[in-house]
Amino acid sequence: MKYTIDDFARLIDHTNLHADATEEDMKKLCDEAKEYHFKMVAINQCQSKFCSEQLKGTDIDTGAAIAFPLGQQTIESKKFDTEDAIKNGANEIDYVINITKLKDKDYDYIKKEMETLVEVCHKHNIPCKVIFENCYLTKDEIKKLAEIAKEVKPDFIKTSTGFGTGGATVEDVKLMKEVVGDDVKVKAAGGIRSSDTFLALIRAGADRIGCSAGIPIINALKQRMKDDNVDSIEINR
């Protein structure tokens, strides 16, 4: 498949999830998203209203992070926060699983949590992304989570918060995609800072990339296309 610069930009969730991000930082994030035509801004839940107002009239989504970055809230708490974010203008949701419950092999809890949040999102016709935080998981745990997702069918499963001990890897994206196939999409996030890594993750099966380095990545791809005198890049998956 051939990707133009705009195709690449529309894969990017432009991210600022820092605890000390100001309103000025959020405005800058939204302005950059509009300039580069990114798919979404990824922000903390409390900034949903401000960012959705900044992006009003555009096709750029406001993506609220729920139970971020630890995932250690109850299902009811996550449900409330999801509904609150949506009420305040969020039209995509990324939530962190309860890693403790996964480690305890309480798969029924993990499935119930996923079903609850997917139901809330789909009731409002918005995408739900499930953050695994792979740096804390074994390959078997990643596979088990992906199997649950294949059954529940969130819109995306996601590699990382970017706040753990590691981020997205090609190996993990391949494993996740291998399990879910075409039933669920994969989002890669965490530590993605170069155009080479960006392209490698897309080749591995990622349909969305969460990063704060979207601007330098897109600029590097523009330069690459200019140097090669092409208007698109072929990606074989």
Strand 40-44 with 12-15, pairing = parallel
**What pTM was estimated for this model as a whole?**
0.97
**Which pLDDT score is estimated for 25?**
98
pLDDT of residue 41: 98
Does residue 105 have an active-site annotation? no
What's the confidence (pLDDT) of residue 119?
98
With a cut of 70, list the residues of the chain below it in pLDDT. none
Residue 35 main-chain phi, psi, to 5 deg: -65, -40
Where does the chain show beta strands of DSSP type E?
A: 2-3, 12-15, 40-44, 61-66, 92-96, 128-131, 156-158, 185-189, 208-211, 233-234
Residue 237's pLDDT is 87
Counted domains in the chain:
1
Residues in a beta bridge with 41: 14, 62
54-105 pLDDT, tens digit per residue, is 999 999 999 999 999 999 999 999 999 999 999 999 999 999 999 999 999 9
Pair of tokens at residue 128: 């739900």
SS3 159: coil
Residue 124 tokens, joined = 């409002």
Active-site residue, selected from the candidate residues 39, 78, 101, 187: 187
CATH code of the domain containing 106: 3.20.20.70
158 classed as catalytic: yes
Catalytic annotation present for 94: yes
> In this predicted structure, what is the pLDDT of residue 28?
98
Cβ–Cβ under 8 Å, residues 41 and 29:
yes
Catalytic residue selected from 81, 94, 155, 172: 94
Set 158, 172, 177, 185: catalytic member: 158
pLDDT at 26: 98
> What's the pLDDT at 142?
98
Q: Concatenated DSSP letters for 133-146?
A: -GGGS-HHHHHHHH
**Encoding tokens for residue 41?**
């801004």
DSSP-assigned beta bridge partners for residue 44? 65
Give the total residue count for the chain: 237
- What domain range is 78 assigned to? 2-234
**Cα separation, 60 vs 188, whole angstroms:** 19
Contact indicator for 218, 14 with CB cutoff of 8 Å: no
